[in-house]
Amino acid sequence: MLGFDSGVDFRGVRLPRDLSSTHRNDWWNSAMVSPFTIFVILIVAFAVIFVAMAVKSVPQGYEWTVERFGRYVRTLEPGLALLIPIVDRVGARLNMMETVLEVPQQSVITRDNAVATVDAIVFYQVLDAAKAAYEVGNLQLAILNLAMTNIRTVMGSMTLDELLSERDRINTQLLSVVDNATTPWGVKVQRVEIKDIAPPPELVAAMARQMKAEREKRANVLDAEGFKQAAVLKAEGEKQAVILAAEGRREAAFRAAEARERQAEAEAKATTFVSEAIGRGSIQAINYFVAQRYIDAIGRLAGTPNQKVILMPLESSAMIGSLAGIAEVARESFSASRIAPNAAVEGPPTGVGHP
C-alpha cells in the first residue's frame, strides 16, 4: 500500500514523495505563517472596523442622533461625520422631509345624532430631530391618535349639514389643534385634510329626496315668477295700448276740430262773400248756395243704404238755373280777378289841359 502513495503525510500536510528531507523542511517553513504576518492582518482588520465605526455617511433628507454611553450629545446632518468608536453610537435615524400620514376611517356622531364615516390625511415635517426622537416614544402613532381624537371632537360639535358644507372650517380647526399639540415634539403639521365624509345610505336617500323637493320647489317658484312677469308685461302692454289709443283719439279729435274750425272759417268767408254779393245786388250768389245745398241733399239721399231707387219729381229747370247762377258767379269772379291787376298797372288817371 505504501508503494501506491504519491506523498507522505508530515504534520498533517501531504508532501510530494520524491522530495528529500531537507527540501521537505524548507517547503514546510515557507508554508508556515509568521506571527508578524498575523499581527499585521489583525491590525488591518482592526483599522477597517475602526473606520467603519468612526465614519458615518448621513443621506440627504435625514438626520441622525448621536448617543454617548446612552445619552444624547449631538445631531448628525447630511454628509460625512466622525464618531468615537465604542463610546459613541447612532441613536435615531429621522426623516426630515415632509411625510404623509393616512388616518383610517372612523365613525363620528354629529351634534344632531347622525352617524358619518370619516377618513383624513395628515402632512407633517420633523423640524427638531432631538425632540422628535426623545420627547415622544412613537412619533407616527402619537400623531395618528391625536388626529383621530380631534376629528371626533371637532366633528362631534357640528351638525351633519355643517360637516358636508364646511370642510374648510373643519380642516382649519383640526390643523390648529394638532399643530399646537405636536409643537413640543419638534414637529410641524403642514395640513390636515378630510378625504371623505360618508353618511349612512338611508340618510343619503333622504337627502336626495330633500334635494329633489327643493329643486321642484325652486322650479315651481320660477314658473310662478315667469307667469307673474308675463302677466305684468301683458298688463303693461295693454295699458300702453290703451294710452296710445286714447292719445290717438285725442289727436284725431283735435285734428277733426281743427278741420271743422277751418271749414267753419271757410263757410264764414263764403257767407261774407255772398253777403257782399247780395249787397251789390247780385242774385247769382243766392242761386249758388241754394244749388249747393240742393245737390248735397240729393247726394245724401242717394247714398243711404235703404234707398236703391229714388222716385221723386225734380225741377230740372230750377236746378239748371241754379247751375247757371253758379257759372255766372264764377264768371264774375274771374272777370274781377282780371280787372284788378290791370287797374294796378295803369295807375290813377291824370288830368291834362288844366289851366
Could you say which of 61, 93, 125 is where a domain stops?
Answer: 93
Q: Which helix (H) or strand (E) holds 93?
A: strand 88-95
Same domain, 72 and 131: no
Same domain, 170 and 141: yes
Give per-residue pLDDT as tens, 29-80. 555 557 778 878 888 888 788 778 888 888 998 999 998 888 889 888 888 8
Same domain, 146 and 84: no
Same domain, 170 and 133: yes
Asked if residue 174 is part of any domain, the answer here is yes
Asked if residue 274 is part of any domain, the answer here is no
pTM confidence score: 0.51
Query: Are 176 and 139 spatial neighbours (Cβ–Cβ below 8 Å)?
Result: no
Asked if residue 245 is part of any domain, the answer here is no
Please tell me the total count of domains within the chain: 2
Strands 99-109 and 115-126: antiparallel
Could you say which of 158, 174, 199 is where a domain stops?
Answer: 199
Same domain, 148 and 166: yes
Give per-residue pLDDT as tens, 276-316. 766 665 556 666 666 667 677 766 666 666 655 555 555 54
Asked if residue 39 is part of any domain, the answer here is yes
Same domain, 89 and 102: no
Alpha helices in the chain (DSSP H): 21-31, 35-54, 129-134, 139-156, 160-165, 167-182, 201-279, 284-302, 316-346
Same domain, 133 and 54: no
Residues of the domain holding 115: 98-199
CATH number of the domain bearing residue 189: 3.30.479.30
Asked if residue 220 is part of any domain, the answer here is no
